[in-house]
Structure 1
Amino acid sequence: MAQSHTTLTFKLRRLAPELIVPAKPTPRELKPLSDNDDQGSLRFHIPLVHLYHENPKMRTKNPASVIREALAKVLVFYYPLAGRLKEGPTRKLMVDCTGEGVLFIEAEADVTLKQFGEGVQLPFPCMKELLYDVPGSSGILDAPLLLIQRVAFCKRSTTCEYNHRVYDEVADNEGTAISSDDMTQRSFFFGPAEVTALRRFAPMHLQHCTTFDVLTASIWRCRTIALQPNPKEDMRIICVMDARSKFNPPIPLGYYGNVLAFATAISTAQDLCNKPLSHALELVMKAKSNVTEEYMRSIADLMVIKRRPRLTKVRSYSISNLTHAGFEDIDFGWGKAIYAGPSEGIAGDPPGRTSFYIPFYNTVGEGGVLVPICLPSVAMNKFVNELNNMLQDNDVAYNNQALQEHKLRTLSKI
């Protein structure tokens, strides 16, 4: 279910960074970002990795030349990507469509995919050596862009009717904190068998839950048990979800701004650890159902009213579902990627506060979801044990769960 890697050593030849500019002249414009895009918590970079098998038909092609030419052509249509972020009055972000271009580095390494081990999984070895952080490019302002937004959601009123608990102001030193020392990262594969095993814990009235729902509830619960926080402390799960389908009339075709919602569920650690999985599952499903068009527009109000509050970091855990992002379908001429997604699979401060659900095929070709998890070593062992207990395919575990839920329902009626 999980996999680790040994250390690799290899030689790397890296050429000087260069700017790829649009192949044709593009408009010089100043584009303000929407208030949803202009969130303080979103001002960071996430490095992505795309891995491809060798294609005999492309042996005469230089991958760097192919990508360099493709970038120049596509930047004609997506010209804001060739611009730079600027700050206006009150630190309002905007894109200066300068046409300066995007950064590109050509490099060669004497290492093969086979050396990554059986089945390409996170964490990848030697990512710091493979991904070069060009000096001056890691900032947000006046640095080359990877993605740019357009305006759609802006402040409407001076009040916000929704209570967005994901932006609660909680002091960093309040309650139990996760130490960043001795952290361990492992990747867990959830195929059809694993998902079916977890669904056994969903009661009849929650059987319509999605794979995302049951995975998120299970991981949230197992992670909380592993961390052993104060039982009375609130634990947050933040589900990063695409809210495009919530709008009527639909969002204009071609809009690629931020339409992500941070659906948040909150429970005490005591309830998460001691109650059945259905407790966490119901909270996750309710948090997702609360995301509506009005909910999304109210976030824009909140950003301006409270001057871009940041997401609550304390005792929060975020899940970003990339299974429908389509990264693996990007074809530069070498076919579909065997892996396409974040280079580490985790993010946040402290490390591991955010995980990604990544589409993945195991070594026997079975499709599923790869979930990288980062925890202190002691907590990781507890997490693995708790998850394995849930995945055990036996009637005893199912009957015990059903009995526990029956007792809770009986007590609630008294």
Structure 2
Amino acid sequence: MASSSALSFTVRRQQPVLVVPAAPTPREVKRLSDIDDQEGLRFQIPVIQFYSHNPESAGRDPAALIRHALARALVFYYPFAGRLREAPDRKLFVHCTGEGVLFIEADADVSLHQFGDALQPPFPCLEELLFDVQGSSAVINAPLLLIQVTRLRCGGFIFSLRLNHTMADAPGLIQFMRAIGELARGATEPTMLPVWRRELLDARPKPMPSFAHREYEQVPDTKGTIIPLDDMAHSSFFFGPREIAAIRSRLPPHLRRNSSTFDILTACLWRSRTRALRPDPEEEFRIICIVNARGRFNPPLPSGFYGNAFALPVAVASARELCGRPLSHALELVKKTKVEVSGEYLQSVADLMVLEGRPHFTVVRTYLVSDVTRAGFHEVDFGWGKAVYGGPAKGGVGAIPGVASFYIPFTNARGEKGIVVPVCLPAPALERFAAEIESLTAGEDTLNIVSAL
């Protein structure tokens, strides 16, 4: 378990500017898909990338280089330079006005090594490294991207970005970031050209959901179990080969052999988090697994598509069932729910969005996990090589802090490759959660339903 660093430093920022496309772009209105504009994606998601000093780039200014490349990238990705508008039926459209994205140039009196060997969320002074420009965090009629490049005293730099999630998912965002990197390194155009085609994920003319979609059930918070926003603690947990092997060893042989690391880790976190919250045994708890549906369409989505193309399948169990039965039970629930996802499943979600007014996914007694271990954030190269750390800037993002965690690729101080998971919970629950994880990875699962609840 990693706690927030005591490191503090000063960041000197220049005035934010709007970076516009480097060449004329179409002035038009583009419709978001019925997956893009659901309520649960109407928020800003932060990403952060750390880059070390590269002697081959000595004398080059990363802020100026990235700003210039960004302007060129916006010629291809010109909808990002526009603004969202909302129709009376809550449908979102991008007005491609060319107004630009916010860009901040900054300097910090700190070196990369001072952040320590374990670069992972929560990051110190994040609000200084990704400054919330007044009025910029709205979803409607505000810049769709905010980028800050902070030069470090050592010659390295930090690239921070905040994205309006309705515009793109993780694969789509990385595609855009790679385009900036390629142009910064001298390319004349991106290797992969963007494709809009959001109509491919619209509802059918006669919407007819074909799945139950319990992820969108409207669940009343009758027992006050939405996590209080004024008592939140953030920490990160590392799962390397030893920790995963310890958890896997608890499973019966058929699940031990045929379960992915994602499934095992998800079951472990869901069960441990539920125990840590000490709920009423009869309350229902949910786990939502974000599943990239790009490869599950027939025919597949076109190469270069950068809209949201993921599903939120859910598993549901009572606290008594989840905490009182073996870990294998939670694992089987997780595995079963992921199998449902297909192109038809996402089509069914789009139909539901139109029929039900684009609802938010269920947040009451819900935990959502997203695996970005293979997304490629750390591979984005602006000319200084790969990122030392690249990925989500914090856990608990979204309209309801504490609901979501990311699985982020990470190498610890001993050189072990694994996964780091930022977690956001009320402070007492976070302590109990840490103890649960410690007992599972140390081979001690002694808590029973009575002590857990």
The reply to whether TM is greater than 0.5 is: yes
Matched, 1:155 2:155: no
**Which residue of structure 2 aligns with residue 229 of structure 1?**
279
SS at match of 2:89: helix
After the TM superposition, which of the residue ranges 191-200 and 171-180 deviates more from structure 2?
Answer: 171-180
CA contact (8 A) 2:279 2:319 kept: yes
- Give the stretch that moved more between structures: 173-182 or 379-388: 173-182
CA distance in 2, matches of 1:269, 1:8: 39
Per-residue CA deviation, residues 209-254 of structure 1 (Å, 9 max, x unaligned), is 1111000000001111111101011000011110111111111122
Compared CA separation, residues 350 and 99, structure 1 to 2 (3 A):
closer
Give the residue type in structure 1 aligned to 2:362: T
Match of 1:241 among 291, 306, 314: 291
Alignment of 1:265-304 (within 5 A): 265-304=315-354
| 2-structure distance, mates of 1:172, 1:278 | 28
The answer to whether the Cα contact below 8 Å between 2:35 and 2:349 also exists between their aligned partners in 1 is: yes
Q: 1:179 to 1:38 in 2, by over 3 A?
A: closer
Partner residue of 2:102? 103
Q: Which secondary structure does the structure 1 equivalent of 2:351 belong to? A: helix
C-alpha displacement at 1:197, in angstroms? 1.2
User: What's the counterpart of residue 133 of structure 1?
Assistant: 132
For 2:4 and 2:366, locate their aligned partners in 1 and report how far apart those are by CA, in whole Å. 28
> When the two structures are superposed, what TM-score results if normalisation uses the length of structure 2?
0.84
Where 1:105 maps in the other structure, the secondary structure is: strand
> SS of 2:236's equivalent?
strand
Cα deviation for residue 6 of structure 1 reads: 3.7
Separation in 2, partners of 1:232, 1:34:
38
1:81/1:349 CA distance change after superposition, 3 Å: closer
Question: What do the CA deviations read for 1:294-327 (whole angstroms, capped 9, x no partner)?
Answer: 1110001000001111111110011011112111
1:167 maps to 216
Could you tell me which residue of structure 2 aligns to residue 191 of structure 1? 240
Between stretches 155-164 and 310-319, larger displacement belongs to: 155-164
Match of 1:347 among 372, 377, 397: 397
Once residues 399 and 142 of structure 2 are traced to their aligned partners in structure 1, the CA distance between those partners, rounded to angstroms, is: 22
In structure 1, give the amino acid aligned to 2:281: P
Give runs of aligned pairs for residues 8-407 of structure 1, distance below 5 A. Answer: 8-146=7-145, 148=167, 150=196, 151=198, 152-156=200-204, 157-174=206-223, 176-206=225-255, 207-393=257-443
User: CA–CA distance in 2 between the matches of 1:137 and 1:258?
Assistant: 22
CA–CA distance in structure 2, aligned partners of residues 346 and 59 of structure 1: 37
CA RMSD of aligned residues (A): 1.9
Q: What amino acid does structure 1 have at the position aligned with 2:110?
A: V
SS in 1 for 2:254: helix
Distance in structure 1 (CA, Å) of the matches to 2:25 and 2:363 = 40
CA distance in structure 2 between the partners assigned to 1:6 and 1:34 by the alignment: 40
Structure 2 match to 1:407:
none
CA contact (8 A) 2:4 2:123 kept: yes
SS at match of 2:305: coil
Q: Is the 8 A contact 2:290 2:368 kept in 1?
A: yes
Contact 2:226 2:363 in 1 (8 A): no
Contact 1:5–1:117 (CA under 8 A) maintained in structure 2? no
Which one-letter code corresponds to 1:153 in the other structure?
A: L
| TM-fit CA distance, 1:133 | 0.8
How far is 1:262 from its partner? 0.2
Change (3 A) 1:274 1:263: same
Partner SS for 2:45? coil
Higher Cα radius of gyration: 1
**Which structure 2 residue ranges, 5 or more long, are not aligned?**
146-162, 169-195, 449-453
**2: distance between equivalents of 1:377 and 1:16?**
36
- Residue 181 of structure 1 deviates from its aligned partner by 4.0
For the residues of structure 2 that align with 1:33 and 1:386, how far apart are their CA atoms?
42
Report sequence identity in percent. 53
Deviation at 1:34, TM superposition (A): 0.9
CA distance in 1, matches of 2:207, 2:342: 20
**Quick check: 221-230 or 84-93, which moved more?**
84-93
CA distance in 1, matches of 2:14, 2:394: 24
Unaligned runs of 5+ in 1: 405-414
Q: Residue 18 of structure 1 contacts residue 104 of structure 1 at CA under 8 Å; is this kept in 2?
A: yes
The AA in structure 1 aligned to 2:235 is R
Q: Secondary structure at the match of 2:423?
A: strand
Shifted more, 247-256 versus 82-91: the winner is 82-91
Q: What is the match of residue 412 of structure 1?
A: none
The question of whether the paired residues in 2 share the 8 Å contact of 1:13 and 1:108 is answered with yes
Matched residues in 1 for 2:425 and 2:435: separation? 14
Q: Quote the offset at 1:183 in angstroms.
A: 2.5
Which amino acid in structure 1 is aligned with residue 308 of structure 2? N
Are the counterparts in 2 of residues 235 and 315 from structure 1 also a CA contact under 8 Å? yes
Contact 1:5-1:116 at 8 Å conserved across structures: no
Residues 210-219 or 176-185, more deviating: 176-185
Contact 1:7–1:126 (Cα < 8 Å) also in 2: no
Q: Which moved more, 1:129-138 or 1:309-318?
A: 129-138
Rounded to whole Å, the distance in 2 between the matches of 1:34 and 1:80 is 14
> What CA distance in whole angstroms lies between the structure 2 residues aligned with 1:349 and 1:82?
24
| Cα distance between partner residues in 1 of 2:64 and 2:84 | 27
